[in-house]
């Protein structure tokens, strides 16, 4: 593009056309924003013609998960309660990527509550590797679109694994940065103390490029980290010699999908050959972590979703009685209703949230101790591979999807999901976790892996034309 | 902890959710299952918990510009119903 | 009868230009829904950002009340559904308020303060026949809530407390404390020992506080005497009926759901910040009154009156600094100035008053003229000199001018002059009146009287 061989408009048009063509099969978008995308592309092209200043990613289109505010377009969180809501402002990350044409708002689980993208009020998303299977969730649309080549990259959010599990299900790279690295301003919260925005890309290299743009302190988010952002491209080195990698024994032994644990262990051996020291470590309290997560996330969600009352914006049920207007306007789907009930109930008990927070401290301090011995943890991104859309999972089994990813959210750690094999013909993802603010370690290890493997280069056959 | 139907009904009212009948009955069992599940946490050895949010200095955000005000038209355009420059809802019954 | 137990919750709107968690202006009486941004409208994805200025003001308020500042202060969400609350929760401080303890000295004794914390205001509801209308301009405005210990025992004590609290808060420039604009609001909790507690809201004047509490003491007392149960409920003071009426079932703290605010880390209040806030506090009324007694030799009563407001006390000291005697300055301020202030005027600048005092003390203006000048000053804000000039009010003390005046009057009034010479001393009064009238009241009466008497006796006898 800088050489003038390809215009932003041409590139955007290519992705828009692909996005529109596969929308029926994938249902990856809640809204497609063709006009807005072309407007941005045109702006970029004209600035480039005039040799004006552009950001490094200028002209590269993206899909934005529908729980991230984009000015002037619907921001629905895949919920009926926000069906007609148009955000009057941009999220900070979207502002920072202002030169990236926005193809559309990616489908997701309603209010990011789910690990399947089945809870969307706008229909489920299909996995491009097998349209009858789930792409995972909650950033299922974001993951499916990148995997299907409908978007070069997308923005997602991760509260308990919502970037990493769908990245694993769809065979792409998912990066959840350290809590506080990316501003949450404009992220419609599920659980503010756990939510973090991140990227879904084809490769670690792409992730580094996008992260470079969206990370950084924002005075508009009081939980934003004041830490400086290093040059992430400097970490794109094919070298893990001297890295101490910990493999959590309990997880590797108990992973319900044998194909997954085999693929992750094989990846570990390959990294060992590349010079890393791999050792077995103990990562206890997984069940407790999930339980604590449920306490915290549901309580915070019940609080954050109290604002959807039909008064000042969003869907309103017309009624002559205020009380009926309230209940009639809060038309969340069944999963959201269930979690709001759990959350409200435990906000009303004396110790629910506190209990969760105490367990969280415990889990965090254990991980902190672990990282005094190792540089990174290597584990499966999810206990399962993509499951059929038709499969009815009971809520607790569904929540179990996040059991390997939740500890990173509990402790605010950066984590990366990478394709590392297949199981039953479907992608398997492994996960790396590093200490807080050590995105560089993940990028270097992830880059090394992708230099020595080709899983991230494989494309789903369904959408090849 | 035993979850009663009354407690669940109270929670429904607090959360202002349109939940009745079968769904409500189902939730009694689900809440029970959930509470039993999270009860495991009580068995965790307790640590001296530091607050999970690091405290901050109040001068932290001194460069913050703030959001610009919306115009009355923008506010009313977001609102499902309005009247005389204000957002309208069914009457609030203050006393009676 | 058992002793009433009364505790007050006072909300003060902080004197800050911006709202507590966004940068919208917090001015009163703007066009509805024009002081609103995505944050205070609770739009999805917005985050609260704490206004430092509000924290510093709240710290000053706490220090002015002698509270202990918590080194770490946290925020909580208090959840309830109400159309004036756009997020479905109010951000307040529950577990670690900004400050604890403290007291307010009142003329009828000290009142202990339990806590002082920051919180955001809700929007304003207007009830009409066609539904309830919401103006979100007030939503998110910075408030402090001050909670007293349940140590008050009567309506008059409550009223005295509010007066004293208001005085201190005005002194420290924390809030403009205008009840009519809602920048000071008061709720009361009341029970008779052993009985259930009720809460009274909608107390929009100090008099209403007093009357509502006295009414409620009587009502509860009567009920107790008749063996009736007091229902723990929230009441509203109905001014027209002069009685308390039930509002809604008592909202006990257990009915609100609280959550530590995950979007706002707890704040550290550093010692240096507290010190700076303390240093920025002006001398507070009680100490100032005591100093006035010592420094200016004023009586306790006059010192107290002069320090009733910071403006008055500042003005007094400025007058003395510009050379006025403390007696003259106190007389002026506690006399005519106070009278005009009570009529609803605004205090002129000390510079203007100093000029007037100087003219008075130099004898170039009569007491009557001084009053007129002052009235004009209150009304128009003009300087004493320009008023005097315009109105021609300068006192004539010049001998030559007064002699001329006397001669004219004597020439015009041969009758009274003759009477006086015949021994009718009263006739001098008539001549004085005529001369004063001729001078439009500006003649210095003491000098004039002397000159007149002199001139009459010095007149050649015509017969």
Chain-chain contact of C81 with A344 (C-beta, under 8 angstroms): no
The shortest CB-CB distance from B41 to any of A220, A288, A309 is to A288
> What is the CATH code of the structural domain delimited by A8-280+377-457?
3.90.1300.10
Taking CB atoms and an 8 Å cut-off, how many pairs form between chains A and C?
A: 93
Is C410 within 8 Å of C434 (Cβ atoms)?
no
Using the beta-carbon criterion (under 8 Å), do B83 and C133 form an inter-chain contact? yes
- Containing C147, the helix (H) or strand (E) segment is strand C142-148
Detail the DSSP E strand segments found in C193-232.
198-203
Note whether C23 contacts B66, CB cutoff 8 Å: yes
Q: Which helix (H) or strand (E) holds C313?
A: helix C310-321
Distance from the first to the final alpha carbon of chain A: 25
Beta-carbon-side half-sphere exposure of residue A401 (alpha carbons within 13 Å):
29
- List the subunits that have 3+ CB pairs under 8 angstroms with C: A, B
Q: Highest mean pLDDT range out of C219-228, C339-348, C388-397?
A: C219-228
From the list C42, C45, C259, which residue is nearest A353 (CB)? C259
Q: Which of B27, B30, B37 sits opposite A291 (nearest CB)?
A: B37
Going by the DSSP 8-state scheme, the letter that residue A423 receives in this structure is E
Would you state the pLDDT for residue C394?
65
> Would you say A435 and A413 are in contact if contact means Cβ atoms under 8 Å apart?
yes
pLDDT of C374 above 60 = yes
Q: Minimal CA–CA distance to A111: which of A377, A304, A353, A258?
A: A304
Cα–Cα distance, A362 to C285 (Å, whole number): 52
Query: Which is it for the CA torsion B56, B57, B58, B62, positive or negative?
Result: negative
Kindly tell me the sign of the dihedral angle through the C-alpha atoms of C132, C138, C142, C146: negative
> Can you tell me the distance from the alpha carbon of A274 to that of C72, in angstroms, rounded to the nearest whole number?
49
Residue C121 CA: distances (Å) to CA of A160, C213, C301, C425: 34, 25, 39, 75
Q: For Cα atoms A82, B64, C60, give the angle at the middle one, nearest 5 degrees.
A: 110
B48: closest CA of chain A, how far (Å): 8
Handedness of CA A230, A232, A233, A238 (dihedral sign): positive
Looking at per-residue confidence, does C390 or C85 come out higher? C85
pLDDT tens, per residue, chain A with 465 residues: 777 789 999 999 999 999 999 999 999 999 999 999 999 999 999 999 999 999 999 999 999 999 999 999 999 999 999 999 999 999 999 999 999 999 999 999 999 999 999 999 999 999 999 999 999 999 999 999 999 999 999 999 999 999 999 999 999 999 999 999 999 999 999 999 999 999 999 999 999 999 999 999 999 999 999 999 999 999 999 999 999 999 999 999 999 999 999 999 999 999 999 999 999 999 988 999 999 999 999 999 999 999 999 999 999 999 999 999 999 999 999 999 999 999 999 998 877 898 899 999 999 999 999 999 999 999 999 999 999 998 877 888 888 899 999 999 999 999 999 999 999 899 999 999 999 999 999 999 999 999 999 999 999 986 654
Contact C270 B57 (CB under 8 A): yes
Q: Measuring CA to CA, which residue among B79, C38, B64 is closest to residue A87?
A: C38
Is B53 an 8 Å CB contact of chain A?
yes
Query: φ and ψ at C200, to 5 degrees?
Result: -110, 125
Q: How far is B11 from chain C (nearest CA, A)?
A: 11
Residue B83 phi, psi dihedral angles, 5° rounding: -165, 130
Chain B residues closer than 8 Å to C273 by CB: 58
Rg (CA), chain B: 23
Determine the average pLDDT of the residues in C95-124: 96
pLDDT for residue C252 is more than 60: no
3-state secondary structure of B74: helix
DSSP A229: P
Smallest Cα distance from C18 to chain B, Å: 10
* A289-324: burial string, b at 16+ Cβ within 10 Å, e else: bbbbbbbbbbbbbbbbbbbbbbbbbbbbeebeebee
| Cβ <8 Å between A220 and C263 | no
Confidence of residue B96 (pLDDT cuts 50, 70, 90): very low
* Maximal C-alpha separation, chain A: 71
By Cβ distance, the residue of C37, C130, C245 closest to B95 is C245
Question: Reduced to 3 states, what is the DSSP secondary structure of residue B25?
Answer: helix
Residues of C in contact with A220 (CB under 8 A): 47, 49
A278 alpha-carbon distance from chain centroid: 27
Contact A415, A199 (CB under 8 A): no
Given the residues A138, A142, A183, A289, the one annotated as active site: A138
Rounded to an integer, the average pLDDT of C104-109 is 93
Q: Are C236 and C242 in contact (CB under 8 A)?
A: no
How large is the greatest C-alpha to C-alpha distance in chain C, in angstroms? 108
Query: Taking CB atoms and an 8 Å limit, are A307 and C259 in contact across chains?
Result: no
SS3 C348: coil
Please indicate whether, in this complex, the C-beta atoms of A307 and C44 are within 8 angstroms of each other: yes
Query: Are C79 and A347 a contacting pair at CB < 8 A?
Result: yes
List CB contacts (< 8 A) between C36 and chain B: 69-70, 75
Position C369 scores a pLDDT of 78
**Minimal Cβ distance to A326: which of C45, C81, C86:** C81
Q: What is the mean pLDDT of the segment spanning C174-186?
A: 92
Q: Which residue has the higher pLDDT, A24 or B94?
A: A24
Nearest 5 degrees, angle CA C158-CA C207-CA C66?
A: 35
Handedness of CA A37, A38, A42, A43 (dihedral sign): negative
- State the Cα–Cα distance between residues C403 and C112, nearest whole angstrom: 68
Q: Report the C-alpha gap between A33 and A70 in whole angstroms.
A: 11
Closest residue, chain A, to B70 (C-alpha): A88
Write the burial class of residue C460 (CB in 10 Å: 0-12 exposed, 13-18 middle, 19+ buried). exposed
CA distance A157 to chain B (A): 20
Q: Does C78 touch chain A (CB under 8 A)?
A: no
Do the Cβ atoms of A188 and C49 come within 8 Å?
no
DSSP state of A281: E
* Contacts with A141 (C-beta within 8 Å, 6 or more apart), sequence order: A26, A27, A28, A29, A30, A63, A65, A66, A106, A107, A108, A117, A125, A135, A154
| Interface with C, mutate which of B12, B50, B55, B74 (most C CBs under 10 A) | B55
SS (H, E, C) C56-104: HHHHHHHHHCCCEECCEECCEEEECCCCCCCCCEEEECCCCCCEECCEE
- Spell out the domains of chain C, with CATH numbers in brackets: 4-274 (no CATH), 283-391 (no CATH), 399-458 (1.10.10.410)
Whether residue A65 lies in the annotated active site: yes
User: Cβ-count burial of C193 within 10 angstroms (0-12 exposed, 13-18 middle, 19+ buried)?
Assistant: exposed
CA distance B66 to chain A (A): 7
For residues C312 and C233, give the distance between their C-alpha atoms in angstroms, rounded to a whole number.
Answer: 43
Q: Say yes or no: C88 contacts chain A, CB-CB below 8 A.
A: yes
Angle at A250 between CA A247 and CA A251, to 5 degrees: 70
Residue C249 reports pLDDT greater than 80: no
Catalytic residue among A65, A96, A105, A176: A65
Active site residue A138: yes
**Taking a C-beta distance cutoff of 8 angstroms, is the pair A42, A200 a contact?**
no
User: Using the 8-state DSSP alphabet, how is residue B55 labeled?
Assistant: P
Q: How far is C101 from chain B (nearest CA, A)?
A: 22
Chain C nearest CA to A350, separation (Å): 9
Domain locations in chain A as residue ranges: 8-280+377-457
% pLDDT > 90, chain C = 61
Helix (H, G, I), strand (E, B) or coil at C227: coil
- Residues C388-411 pLDDT 10s: 767 666 677 777 888 888 888 888
**Which residue of chain A has the CA closest to C83?**
A311
**What part of C 239-258 touches B (C-beta under 8 Å)?**
245-248, 257
Q: Does C199 touch chain B (CB under 8 A)?
A: no
User: Which residue among A186, A305, A348 sits closest to C45, beta carbon to beta carbon?
Assistant: A186
State the first-to-last Cα distance of chain C, in angstroms, to the nearest integer: 90
Residues of B in contact with C132 (CB under 8 A): 88-92
CA C459 to chain centre: 61
- Split at pLDDT 50, 70, 90, the class of B50 is low
| Alpha carbon of B96: minimum distance to chain A alpha carbons (Å) | 15
Tell whether the model's pLDDT for residue B58 goes beyond 70: no
Mean pLDDT, all residues of chain C? 89
Residue of C nearest to B14 (CA): C80
Question: Is there a contact between B56 and C265 if contact means CB atoms under 8 Å apart?
Answer: yes
Helix axes C350-361, C367-380, angle to 10 degrees: 170
Digit-coded pLDDT (tens) for C183-198: 999 999 999 987 899 9
Q: Is the minimum CB–CB distance between B61 and chain C shorter than 8 Å?
A: yes
Most A CBs within 10 A among C257, C261, C265, hence the mutation to make, goes to C257
67-86 of B, contacting A, C-beta below 8 A: 67, 70, 74-75, 78-81
């Amino acid at each position: 593009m800088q050489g003038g061989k390809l215009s932003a408009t041409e590139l955007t048009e290519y992705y828009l056309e692909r996005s529109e063509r596969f929308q029926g099969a994938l249902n990856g978008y809640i809204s497609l924003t063709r006009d807005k995308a072309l407007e941005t592309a045109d702006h970029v092209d004209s600035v480039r013609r005039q040799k004006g200043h552009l950001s490094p990613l200028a002209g590269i289109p993206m899909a934005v998960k529908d729980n991230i505010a984009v000015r002037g377009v619907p921001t629905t969180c895949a919920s009926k309660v926000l069906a007609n809501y148009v955000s009057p402002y941009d999220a900070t990350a979207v502002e920072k990527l202002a030169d990236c044409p926005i193809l559309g708002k990616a489908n997701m689980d309603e209010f990011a509550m789910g690990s399947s993208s089945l809870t969307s009020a706008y229909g489920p998303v299909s996995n491009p590797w097998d349209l009858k299977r789930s792409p995972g969730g909650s950033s299922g649309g974001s993951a499916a679109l990148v995997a299907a080549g409908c978007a070069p990259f997308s923005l997602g959010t991760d509260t308990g694994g919502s970037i990493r599990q769908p990245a694993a299900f769809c065979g792409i790279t998912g990066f959840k940065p350290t809590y506080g690295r990316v501003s949450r301003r404009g992220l419609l919260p599920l659980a503010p103390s756990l939510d973090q925005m991140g990227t879904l890309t084809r490769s670690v290299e792409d992730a580094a490029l996008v992260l470079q743009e969206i990370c950084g302190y924002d005075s508009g988010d009081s939980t934003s980290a004041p830490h400086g952002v290093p040059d992430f491209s400097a970490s794109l080195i094919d070298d893990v010699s001297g890295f101490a990698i910990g493999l959590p024994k309990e997880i590797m032994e108990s992973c319900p999908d044998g194909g997954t644990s085999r693929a992750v262990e094989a990846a570990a051996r390959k990294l060992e050959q590349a010079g890393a020291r791999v050792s077995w470590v103990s990562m206890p309290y997984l069940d407790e972590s999930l339980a604590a997560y449920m306490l915290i996330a549901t309580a915070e969600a019940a609080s954050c979703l109290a604002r959807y009352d039909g008064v000042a914006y969003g869907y309103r049920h017309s009624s002559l009685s205020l009380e009926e207007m309230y209940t009639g306007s809060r038309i969340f789907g069944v999963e959201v209703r269930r979690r709001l009930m759990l959350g409200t109930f435990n906000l009303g008990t004396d110790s629910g949230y506190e209990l969760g927070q105490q367990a969280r401290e415990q889990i965090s301090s254990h991980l902190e101790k672990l990282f005094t011995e190792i540089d990174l943890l290597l584990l499966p991104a999810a206990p399962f591979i993509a499951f059929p859309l038709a499969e009815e999972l009971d809520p607790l089994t569904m929540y179990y999807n996040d059991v390997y990813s939740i500890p990173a959210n509990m402790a605010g750690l950066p984590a990366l999901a990478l394709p590392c094999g297949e199981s039953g013909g479907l992608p398997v993802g492994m996960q790396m976790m590093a200490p807080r603010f050590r995105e560089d370690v993940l990028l270097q290890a992830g880059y090394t892996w992708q230099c020595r493997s080709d899983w991230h280069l494989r494309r789903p056959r369904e959408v090849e034309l | 902890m035993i979850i009663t139907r009354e407690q669940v009904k109270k929670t429904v009212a607090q959360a202002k959710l349109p939940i009745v009948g079968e769904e409500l009955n189902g939730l009694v069992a689900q809440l029970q299952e959930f509470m039993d599940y999270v009860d495991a946490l009580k068995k965790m050895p307790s640590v001296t918990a530091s607050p999970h949010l690091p405290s901050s200095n109040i001068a932290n955000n001194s460069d913050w510009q703030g959001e610009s005000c919306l115009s009355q038209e923008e506010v009313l355009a977001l609102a499902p119903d309005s009247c005389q420059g204000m957002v309208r809802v069914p009457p609030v019954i203050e006393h009676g | 009868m058992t002793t009433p137990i009364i505790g007050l919750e006072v909300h003060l709107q902080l004197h800050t230009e911006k709202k507590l968690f966004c940068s919208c202006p917090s001015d009163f009486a703007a066009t509805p829904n024009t002081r609103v941004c995505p944050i205070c409208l609770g739009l999805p994805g917005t985050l609260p950002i704490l206004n430092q200025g509000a924290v510093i003001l709240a710290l000053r308020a706490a220090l002015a009340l002698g509270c202990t500042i918590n080194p770490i202060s946290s925020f909580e969400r208090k959840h309830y559904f109400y159309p004036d609350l756009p997020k479905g929760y109010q951000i307040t401080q529950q577990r670690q308020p900004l400050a604890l303890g403290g007291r307010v000295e009142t003329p009828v004794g000290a009142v202990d303060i339990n806590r002082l914390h920051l919180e955001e205001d809700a929007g304003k509801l207007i009830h009409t026949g066609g539904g309830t209308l919401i103006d979100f301009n007030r939503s998110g405005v910075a408030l402090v809530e001050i909670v007293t210990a349940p140590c008050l025992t009567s309506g008059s004590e409550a009223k005295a407390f509010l007066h004293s609290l208001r005085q201190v808060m005005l002194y420290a420039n924390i809030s403009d404390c205008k009840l009519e604009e809602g920048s000071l609001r008061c709720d009361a909790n009341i029970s008779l020992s052993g009985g259930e507690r009720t809460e009274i809201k909608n107390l929009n004047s100090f008099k209403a506080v007093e009357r509502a509490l006295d009414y409620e003491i009587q009502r509860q007392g009567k009920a107790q005497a008749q063996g009736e149960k007091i229902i723990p409920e929230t009441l509203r003071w109905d001014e027209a009926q002069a009685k308390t009426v039930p509002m809604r079932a008592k909202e006990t703290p257990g009915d609100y759901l609280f959550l530590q605010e995950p979007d706002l880390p707890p704040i550290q209040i550093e010692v240096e910040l507290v010190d700076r806030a303390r240093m920025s506090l002006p001398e507070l009324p009680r100490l100032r009154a005591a100093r006035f007694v010592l420094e200016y030799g004023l009586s306790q009563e006059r010192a107290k009156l002069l320090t009733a407001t910071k403006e008055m006390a500042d003005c007094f000291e400025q007058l003395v600094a510009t050379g006025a005697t403390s007696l003259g300055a106190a007389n002026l301020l506690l006399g005519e100035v106070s009278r005009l202030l009570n009529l609803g005027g605004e205090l002129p600048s000390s510079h203007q008053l100093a000029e007037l005092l100087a003219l008075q003390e130099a004898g170039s203006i009569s007491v009557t003229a001084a009053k007129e000048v002052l009235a004009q000053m209150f009304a128009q804000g003009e300087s004493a000199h320009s008023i005097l000039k315009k109105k021609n009010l300068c006192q004539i003390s010049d001998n030559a001018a007064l002699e001329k005046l006397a001669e004219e009057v004597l020439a015009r009034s041969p009758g009274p002059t003759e009477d006086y010479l015949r021994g009718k001393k009263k006739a001098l009064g008539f001549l004085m009146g005529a001369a004063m009238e001729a001078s439009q009241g500006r003649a210095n009466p003491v000098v004039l009287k002397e000159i007149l008497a002199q001139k009459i006796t010095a007149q050649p006898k015509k017969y």
